[in-house]
Amino acid sequence: MDNLAPAISPPSGIGDSKPTHQAVLDWVQEVARLTEPENIFWCDGSEEENAWLLGEAQRLGVVLKLNEQKKPGSYLHRSNPNDVARVEQFTLICTPTKEEAGPTNNWAEPAETYTKLHGMLAGAMKGRTLFVVPYIMGPPDSPLTKVGFEITDSIYVVLSMRIMTRMGSVAVKRLGDDPKGEWNRGVHSLLDVNPDRRLICHFPQDNAIISVGSGYGGNVLLSKKCLALRIGSYLARKQGWLAEHMLILGVESPDGRKHYVAAAFPSACGKTNFAMLIPPPHFKGWKVTTIGDDIAWMQIGKDGRLYAVNPENGYFGVVPGTSYKSNPNAMKSIEHDTLYTNVALTDDGDVWWEGKDGPPPAHAIDWKGNDWTPDSKEKAAHPNSRFAVPMRNNPVLDPDVEKGEGVPISAIIFGGRRSDTMPLVFQALDWNHGVYLGATMASETTAAATGAVGQVRRDPMAMLPFCGYNIGDYFRHWIGIGKRLTNPPLIFDVNWFRKGADGKFLWPGFGDNMRVLKWIIDRCEGSDGAVKSPIGWLPGMHDLDLAELEIDHKCVAELLGVDHGEWQKELVEHKRFFDSLGGVVPDELLQQGEALTSRFKS
Ligand code: OXD
Ligand code: MN
């Protein structure tokens, strides 16, 4: 199986939904003149179109239909083994000056980059179909919602975009014929799926994206990381809102009090699990519901609170480790109508991955298409194998997910994967201190991006790979938003991954994270169950509800401990990180660093 597929010839009534917006038509013609496709397929997002495309994708070997009894409406795609994750080193921000892209981005000069990309794209779609995918990010009636058009020569991208975005006529209608309407131009071509010709380029000033040489979701579903985060964060700063790498969840108490929280964790650190959490039996009557699992767009409401929408329409989650034990709601969501990528195929036409419930199959076809048995040295599923699933499959989807104004956010949570130093949970002293916590966040790297796994790297607000402009200006924007919020969310930091001296996790995680969430909600409701420490407010030993949890006192003390030795090293790392940014860090955050250091001395 591969992404590359020859042109398809749709019957009449399919693939001919040409919009009327002149600039869109002109742009598509321009790209077609350059890439020379055999034909143009205008997507409308309908059921009929999707069914026909799925048939073609099977015929061409781009997807394989799974056993209809075991996984109704579901398909498996295998990517080129050289193309399984985001490529941060080939992801470019093309702004007129290097300073605008800032110290954390790979910068390239726009005119030169366009010339280079146009050279790569010349004739690239010969013998292929050029698909035009109109889509919106955000609920149809939200003021935050953005229109995008993605041109692609990958049928897999079209099928995935229909899951991940509100795709087709809804976008054409939203843009209308207004020549001044704002819309994103996205061009994607697989070229020859060659890592040496792979570039993911963003032109924030032009609201444009060009991605070549890859078929992996994070590089090619241009709606997601490219528009909703990189271009989105640029637009958000210009327009006074926030585009963040955050899940959004609702939490309702047995007596009907409801709060929403947004949480930024780096890629593959459990955002999807947290967003679908099932409270342990002791929390009878508590409900957690999902607004989003990856991206939050947030604006300031008339009441001075922060309101969030999920711009996406589906989840593109990491499969390995997903089980009825770790995330029953995700498992239920991916039982049907799911597009799997790079998992193993069982002999009965089902899918399998490491960490799934039950024993491994005696035989399977691994993600590369080779025979696999439990004795094989290679993994059956790629560690970054994914599911793409419509959010409506989620049994705990929040009823307000389509609300245009968004949901009010009571708490913002930052968190990373840290074996040491960072306590299970603590609360920032105020907004700017919270911004400092986000700005100095760090996490052990995962398989979501190419490169070494398990190394601690600073990942401010989990946005290091996704902030589309200068990170110093991004921090300044956060501080500015805080000044405008008369009723700001409280800010917290969590770490589910702290380990004891024996190298084992101290905290059970998953559903038991409800215990931490409950403390966060209590604090939002004014509870005084906390003790002040140099790093912020920590729960006291008895402030976390640990009833019916088998955990010894020593573990809890370790989880909530602030080890001065570890923190001295951490403070050095904060300073080293800020210094590495070359003078862009706002004074407010430098002062936060100094205040933190002096709190340890007093
Ligand atoms: C993702 C990522 O796919 O962050 O969400 O890599
Ligand atoms: Mn993500």
Does 267 score more than 90 pLDDT?
no
Please name which ligand lies nearest the alpha carbon of 91: 1
Which one of 316, 341, 342, 384 would you pick to mutate in the ligand 1 pocket, going by the greatest count of ligand atoms within 8 A of its CB?
316
CB 266 within 8 A of CB 416: yes
Which amino acid is located at 252 in the chain?
Answer: E
Over residues 67-108, the pLDDT tens digits come to 999 999 999 999 999 999 999 999 999 999 999 999 999 999
Given pLDDT bands bounded at 50, 70 and 90, which one contains residue 414?
Answer: very high
- Identify the pLDDT of residue 4: 87
**CA 86-170-57 angle, 5° bins:** 50
> What's the rounded Cα separation, in Å, for the pair 189 and 211?
7
Residue keyed to tokens 């700063």 = 237
At 128, list the tokens: 């292929």
pLDDT of residue 455: 85
pLDDT band at 1 (very low <50, low <70, confident <90, very high): low
- Taking the centre of ligand 1 as the mean of its atom positions, its distance from the CA of residue 267, in whole angstroms, is 5
Q: Is 394 within 8 Å of 333 (Cβ atoms)? A: yes
Q: Is the CB of 267 under 6 A from ligand 1?
A: yes
- Is there a contact between 293 and 317 (Cβ–Cβ < 8 Å)? yes
For the stretch 109-122, pLDDT in tens is 999 999 999 999 99
pLDDT exceeds cutoff 60 at 219? yes
- Name the band, by pLDDT with cuts 50, 70 and 90, for residue 20: very high
pLDDT given at position 474: 98
Average pLDDT over residues 254-258: 96
For residue 449, the ligand 1 atom closest to its alpha carbon is 6
Residue 308 has pLDDT above 60, yes or no: yes
Residue 16 has pLDDT above 60, yes or no: yes
Q: Any residues with CB less than 8 A from the CB of 392 and at least 6 apart, and which?
A: none
The first and second tokens of residue 518, run together, are 């409950």
Chain position carrying tokens 């409800």: 514
Distance CA 428, CA 266 (A): 19
Q: Which pLDDT value is given to residue 449?
A: 78
To the nearest whole percent, how much of the chain has pLDDT over 90? 96
Mutate to test the pocket of ligand 1, among 229, 267, 342, 466 (most ligand atoms within 8 A of CB): 267
SS3 label, residue 591: helix
Interatomic CA distance for residues 353 and 330, integer angstroms: 14
